[in-house]
Amino acid sequence: MRKPFIAGNWKMNKTLSEAEILVTELKEELAGITEVEIAICPPAVNLTRVYDLIKESNIKLGAQNMYWEEKGAFTGELSGAMLKEAGVSYVIIGHSERREYFAETDEGVNRKVRAAFNYGLTPIVCVGETLKEREEGKTNDKVRGQVKAALAGLDTGQVAELVIAYEPIWAIGTGRSATAGDANQVIGYIRDLVREDFGAAADKMRIQYGGSVKPDNIEELMAEEEIDGALVGGASLKANSFAEIVRGAMK
């Protein structure tokens, strides 16, 4: 049985004072929930403060990005060791916004994934197709390339621990979620791909759906066999909507 996993990707939202308010509300709303694993991914500058606030709670800390090098002259970047010491458990890698606006490549994603494991961080690897690719029937090809590249060189233990987030780009921030059935189909395909290379680890690995997840569509998504949780953007910025999504994942 895979434990449901709901993570909030705050993206470039919430100053320190705003983050403190949101986290305080979230701790209250989510207190006592153990059936679902919960993580929040605030902007890097607020990681340490958020960790102080949640370290005794059932909410885990995630980062939105990292660099693969250990240390040195890489202005503006953050290492795995820095994230680990800040209290980070999860790190989002290869989000479509980073691929699009910051020129991240499949090869870079793979280097980051391997680096994350070196520092005891669990990667949440994002994959997904554009609207054009979907319309041209290229969804499977796209995610196949992304998944195979991201997982290259990992061992089965790492793959079992890894999280993949299937986020169709056309569903991100648009209010237009994939249907639960479509999301389930692609996620099932991703699991088959991983099984080809890593066998039974594929059945331990959790795969989230992301893209306009809201309190009113989470239950339908979670009812699908292959969907193990959600990576939530906009709806994770308000305590009540994020908490409703977490509770929806428990049903």
- Based on the shown chain and the rule CB under 6 A, indicate whether residue 210 belongs to the binding site for ligand 13P: yes
Site for ligand 13P in 3-32 (CB under 6 A): 9
Which of residues 78 and 172 has its CB atom nearest to ligand 13P in the complex?
172
Which distant-in-sequence residues (6+ apart) come within 8 Å of 241 by Cβ? 214, 215, 235
Q: Binding segment for ligand 13P among 139-147, 149-157, 187-195, 207-215 (CB under 6 A)?
A: 207-215
Helix (H) or strand (E) holding 49: helix 47-54
Q: Binding segment for ligand 13P among 29-37, 150-158, 167-175, 221-229 (CB under 6 A)?
A: 167-175
- Based on the shown chain and the rule CB under 6 A, indicate whether residue 232 belongs to the binding site for ligand 13P: yes
Q: What's the CA gap between 91 and 115, in Å, rounded?
A: 11
CA 32 to chain centre: 22
- Based on the shown chain and the rule CB under 6 A, indicate whether residue 207 belongs to the binding site for ligand 13P: no
- Based on the shown chain and the rule CB under 6 A, indicate whether residue 172 belongs to the binding site for ligand 13P: yes
Active-site position among 37, 129, 133, 167: 167
Q: What's the CA gap between 107 and 68, in Å, rounded?
A: 11
Q: Is there a catalytic annotation at residue 18?
A: no
- Based on the shown chain and the rule CB under 6 A, indicate whether residue 211 belongs to the binding site for ligand 13P: yes
Q: Is there a catalytic annotation at residue 56?
A: no
Which distant-in-sequence residues (6+ apart) come within 8 Å of 24 by Cβ? 53
Strand, coil or helix: what is 102? coil
Number of residues that bind ligand 13P (CB under 6 A): 14
Q: Binding segment for ligand 13P among 53-61, 104-112, 189-197, 211-219 (CB under 6 A)?
A: 211-219
Q: Binding segment for ligand 13P among 73-81, 153-161, 217-225, 226-234 (CB under 6 A)?
A: 226-234
Site for ligand 13P in 82-141 (CB under 6 A): 95
Which of residues 7 and 53 has its CB atom nearest to ligand 13P in the complex?
7
Which distant-in-sequence residues (6+ apart) come within 8 Å of 13 by Cβ? 43, 237
From residue 36, give the alpha-carbon distance in Å to each of 3, 39, 84, 129.
Answer: 6, 10, 23, 27
Under a CB-based contact definition with an 8 Å cutoff, are residues 205 and 160 in contact? yes
Q: What's the CA gap between 246 and 148, in Å, rounded?
A: 30
**By the criterion CB under 6 A, which residues form the site for ligand 13P?**
9, 95, 167, 172-173, 210-213, 231-235
Catalytic residue ranges? 95, 167
